[in-house]
Structure 1
C-alpha cells in the first residue's frame, strides 16, 4: 500500500469529519484496499479519484414540520445524501429511525455507491431518511409524516435523477404513502421510488430480494469451496425483512437455521426453524411487539428465548448478520471462531466492525461484506426501474433468475479481484472491483 496516500486521505477525512465515526470507518475500510490500485494509476491520481469518491456530491438537509392526528405540531430532521451519480441516477433507501444521523447516512450512501457499481446496473449511490420513529405510532400519523417528508424531498428526486427505496422502518406501506404524495404534487406517474406495490408499478420478488440474494451469494461461495448450503447449520441475527427471507431461502436449500434475533435477545431452535415457522413470522411480523417470542409460543417446535443476548455463541457453520451496523464485535467474532464458524456473510450494511473482521482474516474464516452479499435488494430495485421505464411487469420466475444471475456475477467479480494463492479475500475483491468501474467512469467523464 502507498502509506503516504492512505495517510493523507484518511487524515483529510478525519480532520473535516472527526465526529462522523461510521462514515470514517466505511471510508477507511475501502481506502485500505483501493489505495494500491489508485497509487499505481497516474490517471486516477491526476483526477484525484479516491478523494472524490469519498466525498458526497450533494447533501440535502431539511426540517420536516408536520401536524399529527392529535393536532399537535412535531418537528423532525430529514436528509438525502446524493453521494455519486457517475454510474446513473442516485439510488438507495430511506431510513426512518431515531438513530439516523448525517454520519450514518453518509456511510450508507458511500457503501451504496460501491454496492450499486458491483451489480453492473446503471445506478449511482445515495441514502436518506429522518429521525422519525414510527414504532408505536398509529397508521394515520405514519401517513402524515410520510407526506410531510415527501413534500420536502420531492424537489430533489426524479426517475432520471434520484430514485429512493425503502430501508429500516420504510416498507411497502410507507413507500405507498410517499409515492402517493409525490404523484399528487408532481402530477406524474413515474418510477421515482422502488419497492412500490404491485398495483402501481412495483415488482415481484422485491420484498424477498435482499435475503434471497444473500443466500444466492452464499451458494456461490459454497460452490467455489467445493461444498453446498445443504446440511449447513446457520445462525442469523435480525428478525426483519432481510433476516426472515434469508432464513426462508436457507431452509429451501436444505440448511438448518438455528437463530433469529432482535434488540431484546435471540430465539434458538436446536432442530432448525421449519418453513412454516418462518412464513408465519413473515406474515405476522407487524402484528406483534416481539415477533420472536410470539413465534416461540406459536410454533410446535421447541425453542428457547435468550433475553439481552446475541446469537453468536451458538455452534454453527455459517453466520449471517442481518440486523444493523456494528452489531458483531471482536468478542462475538471470537465466539464464532470457537464454535467452528467457517463463513460470515453480511446481510446488513457493515454489521461487522473492523476488529471482528480482523479476527476472521487472521483465522481464515471466509468473510463477505454487505456491499457484495446484500446487493440483491438494490439489484431488484434496478430491475423495477427498468420495468417502470417501459411500463411492464416481469413475472416472479424471470426476476428470481435474474437476481440469482446478478449475485453470481458479483461473486465472480469478487473472485477475480480478491483471489490470492491460498484463498479469496472477498472484501478486497468487492472494493477493488467496484472502485475500478467507478474510477474508469469518473475519468471518462472528466471534472
Structure 2
C-alpha cells in the first residue's frame, strides 16, 4: 500500500507539467545564456533549490523591474522583479544572506515604507524557501495584502511540513503504544528512507521504482530491528529504560554507519529542484504541494487500516492492554512485528518527503527532526495515533508561521516551547487519557 503511494508520488514528480509551474525569476536573454557568468558575478541562482523570495507591490499594484540582490558565503545572487511583482533568488547553501533592494530602480514616486530595513539579513535552515518582504509607501492596505500573502504561503508550507512529520510520528506513536518503547533510533529510520531512495536512484533506477523500493527497505529495516533486537529483549524481560538506552546506542551506530558509506555531504534526489507554482498572489514550491497531497493520502489510508480492518483493531487492542489482547487470542508478537514494519515504512516515506522539502539528503537529517517528532507525539498524546497527527500538524504550522516574526534558527525552539506550555495545562496531551499514578 505504502509502496504504491510512493510510486504515485514519483509519478507526480515526473509528470507534473512544467508549463504550469513558473519560477519568479525572469528568463535569461540569449546573450546571458551564451556564456557562463564569471566567478563572483551575480546570478539568479535558477539551478539551486534553496530560494529566497518575495513579492513587491505598491498599494496592491505589482512593481516590475526592481533589482534585488542576495549576498553571503562568497555568493551573490541578483534578480529583477517579474510582471506580477514576484522575485526569487536561488542560493547554493542555507545560512545567512544579506538581501538588498536597489532603491534607485524603484519607479518615480515610489519609496520604501518607513522603518523598512534595507539591506537586511535573512537566515534560514531546514526549509527550501524563505520569504522576505519589502513594504512600499505608507498605505495599510499594502501591508495587509503582503502579510496575508506571506501568511498563506507559510500556512501551506506548515501543513506540508506538519503532515510529513505526522507520517513518521504515527509510526513512532504506534511503536510506543504497542511496546511502551521510546525509540530514539526512529530518526535514523527517517534518514534511511531518504538514503535508500538516493542510492537506488544513483544506481540508475527510475524514480518510480527507487522511491517505492526505499519505502519497502524502510519496512524491512523495521522487521529486522524487531526480529533481531527488540523481540529477544522483550522475551528476556528487559525493562523499558534499558531498552530506551539500547535505542540510543542503535541510533548512534546506524547514523555513523550511514555516514561511513554515504558521506557527510548533502545530496539531491531526482526532481528536487522544484519550480514555484503561482496560485494568485501566492508562490508555492511544487514539491511542497505534492508532499502535502501524498502525506494526506497515506495518513488517511493508515487511519482506515486502524479503524476498519482486523489487524487495525488488533493493533488498537494490543496498545490498550497487551495481556488482555493475548488472552483474547490475539498474536501480540505478530501485531508488534507488523507495527514495526509499518512504522519503518512510514518513517522511510517521511524521510523521502523531508529530503524533497529541505531539500537534500544528509546522514543526520533524521536526527534534526527527531525532537520535533517527539514533540508532535507528546503534544497529541503518547501512544495515540490521531493525537500524533494533530500534534505534528500543530508543530509544523507553528514552525513555519513563526518565521514571519522569528529568526529561522529559533523556529524549532518555539515549537518545543509551545509543547511545554500545552503539557503544563494538559499533561496527558491533546487526545491522551488521564491516568492515576500511585
TM-score (norm 1): 0.29
Decide which structure has the larger Cα Rg and report it.
2
Which has more helix, going by share of residues? 2
Q: Between Structure 1 and Structure 2, which shows a larger proportion of strand residues? A: 1
Higher RCO (Cα < 8 Å, 6 or more apart)? 2
